[in-house]
Amino acid sequence: MTAPEFQYKEKPDVLVLFDVDGTLTPARLTISDEVKETLKKLRQKVCIGFVGGSDLSKQLEQLGPTVLDDFDYSFSENGLTAYRLGKEQASQSFINWIGEEQYNKLAVFILKYLSSIELPKRRGTFLEFRNGMINVSPIGRNASTEERNEYEQYDKVHQIRAKFVEALKKEFPDLGLTYSIGGQISFDVFPTGWDKTYCLQHVEKDGFKEIHFFGDKTAKGGNDYEIYEDKRTIGHAVSSPADTVRILNEIFNL
- Catalytic residue status for 195: no
Q: Consult the annotation and say whether 178 binds a ligand.
A: no
First to last CA, the chain: 25
User: At its nearest, how many Å lie between ligand M1P and the CB of residue 77?
Assistant: 8
Smaller CB distance to ligand M1P: residue 137 or 233? Answer: 137
Smaller CB distance to ligand M1P: residue 12 or 52? Answer: 52
Q: Would you tell me which residues interact with ligand M1P (CB under 6 A)?
A: 20-21, 27-28, 52-54, 135, 182-186, 188, 223
Helix (H) or strand (E) holding 16, with range, is: strand 14-18
Burial track 40-61 (b if 16+ CB lie within 10 A, e otherwise): eebeebbbbbbbbbbbbebbee
User: At its nearest, how many Å lie between ligand M1P and the CB of residue 225?
Assistant: 12
> What is the sign of the dihedral through the CA atoms of 5, 210, 86 and 191?
positive
User: At its nearest, how many Å lie between ligand M1P and the CB of residue 185?
Assistant: 4
Helix (H) or strand (E) holding 51, with range, is: strand 47-51
Phi-psi sector, 40: left (phi>0), alpha (psi -120 to 50), beta: alpha
Smaller CB distance to ligand M1P: residue 61 or 230? Answer: 61
- Catalytic residue status for 21: yes
Q: Consult the annotation and say whether 122 binds a ligand.
A: no
Dihedral pair phi/psi, residue 21, rounded to 5°: -65, 125
Q: Consult the annotation and say whether 161 binds a ligand.
A: no
Q: Consult the annotation and say whether 233 binds a ligand.
A: yes
Binding-site residue set: 19, 21, 28, 130, 141, 148, 186, 188, 216, 228, 230, 233
